[in-house]
Amino acid sequence: MDEFEVIRRYFQRDDKFTNDLVSVDSGDDCAVLKLPLGEELCVSTDTLIEGVHFPIQASGRVAAARAIGANLSDLAAMGATPHSCTVALTIPEVNDDWLSGFASVLAIASQDHHMPLVGGNLAKGPLSITVTIMGRVAAGEALLRSGACVDDDIYVSGCLGDAAGGLKVVVENLEDTAARYATLRSRYQSPLARISLGQSLQGLASACIDVSDGFLADLSHVLKSSGVGACVELDKLPVSSGLTNLLGRDGALAAAATGGDDYELCFTAPKSMRQNIEKLADDPMLTRVGHVTADTALRVNNAQGLAMSDYATDASLKGYTHFK
């Protein structure tokens, strides 16, 4: 089976989703796409590498779910609606089991998010997945990192740290407790991007980012882009009972502050928007965890209101880094 047959068999299936924003689908030198009048295109590219972004020997389903989740989350952080995507897949061999799982998760995501797969690349080599995702947003309405203002509230969606807990469950192979930690594992293996929330935040949030590197690391990107600082109440970070069961309260808060891969949204909003934000749907839960300051430092207070220098070190702010 050469790469053309692999592409036909797994990625150009008869039930492949498409829509009227696609003028020319995959199979030509380029896909040709339409953008509705008055809208702009959001584009992001993320690479996932075996052993770094997903465990060695992870299934095709997990690899696809993590790649798609991470990329959709970048659209969510802009308040964008998925438009289409391309997938560049490099695999060491043609493994039907792996490819079937990968393709099926990709096909479901494509359908669920009305996001046709419009092109890509298949090559032989060490396993890696590069997704380029495209979204659309009303012109001028994209949520940026740079809009946070002094005294704005800081919110996060859902629970933080679950993906870090899930990674521990997967890596340490806590199989005997599989059912108990199923939610944590799923949060790591099949992250759900907050697309609807991002759309709802247009006109409410002043700045937004998705939590991929870790809450403090990602918040610090917003602060830097906006030229401001923040004060965060560690004790207010939302943590799930499953994570507390796994790590204890202190461990859960540490994971919430610095763990990566949650793909929740962290956003700022003026105090005047509190009522509007409370009116948003309950799912995901939104938690106010701090406020923006004029001083450009990022301060983390514990339950007693004392500044915790441990959380303000460079290492925890940076999140995962590829090169030291």
Nearer to a copy of itself, 88 or 150 (CB): 88
- Residue 210 in contact with a copy of itself, rule: CB under 8 A: yes
Q: Which stretch binds a copy of itself (CB under 8 A): 34-42, 184-192, 239-247, 300-308?
A: 34-42
Look at the chain and count its residues.
324
Q: Tell the smallest beta-carbon distance from residue 106 to a copy of itself (Å).
A: 14
- Take residue 48 and report the two structure tokens written for it: 């996932």
Q: Tell the smallest beta-carbon distance from residue 200 to a copy of itself (Å).
A: 17
- Residue 20 in contact with a copy of itself, rule: CB under 8 A: no
Q: How many CB atoms within 10 Å of residue 285?
A: 13
Q: Tell the smallest beta-carbon distance from residue 27 to a copy of itself (Å).
A: 7
How many residues bind to a copy of itself according to rule CB under 8 A?
A: 72
CA dihedral 74, 80, 86, 92 (to 10 degrees): 20
Nearer to a copy of itself, 54 or 181 (CB): 54
Q: Tell the smallest beta-carbon distance from residue 315 to a copy of itself (Å).
A: 11
Q: Tell the smallest beta-carbon distance from residue 245 to a copy of itself (Å).
A: 32
- Residue 29 in contact with a copy of itself, rule: CB under 8 A: yes
> Which of residues 112, 139, 203, 281 is near a copy of itself by CB under 8 A?
139
SS3 44: strand
d(CA 155, CA 252): 18
Nearer to a copy of itself, 140 or 305 (CB): 140
- Take residue 177 and report the two structure tokens written for it: 């407790």
Amino acid found at 182: A
Chain residues 72-91 in contact with a copy of itself, contact rule CB under 8 A? 73-75, 77-78, 80, 84, 86-88, 90
Q: Tell the smallest beta-carbon distance from residue 161 to a copy of itself (Å).
A: 21
168 in Cβ contact with 117 (< 8 Å): no
Chain residues 176-205 in contact with a copy of itself, contact rule CB under 8 A? none
Q: Tell the smallest beta-carbon distance from residue 111 to a copy of itself (Å).
A: 20
- The edge-to-edge listing of strands for the beta sheet with 298-301 is 207-210, 265-269, 153-157, 286-293, 229-233, 298-301
- Take residue 145 and report the two structure tokens written for it: 């990192």
d(CA 288, CA 267): 10
Chain residues 38-77 in contact with a copy of itself, contact rule CB under 8 A? 40-47, 49, 52-53, 73-75, 77
SS3 128: strand
- Residue 315 in contact with a copy of itself, rule: CB under 8 A: no
Chain residues 94-133 in contact with a copy of itself, contact rule CB under 8 A? 94, 118-126, 128, 130, 132-133
Q: Which stretch binds a copy of itself (CB under 8 A): 11-19, 22-30, 60-68, 226-234?
A: 22-30
Nearer to a copy of itself, 78 or 228 (CB): 78
- Residue 154 in contact with a copy of itself, rule: CB under 8 A: no
Nearer to a copy of itself, 123 or 297 (CB): 123
Amino acid found at 190: S
- Take residue 60 and report the two structure tokens written for it: 């095709």
Neighbour-count burial of 145, counting CB atoms closer than 10 A to its CB (0-12 exposed, 13-18 middle, 19+ buried): buried
DSSP 257-323: HH------EEEEE-GGGHHHHHTS-SSS-EEEEEEEESS--EEEE-TTS-B-GGGGSHHHHH---S-
- Distance from chain centroid for Cα 237: 18
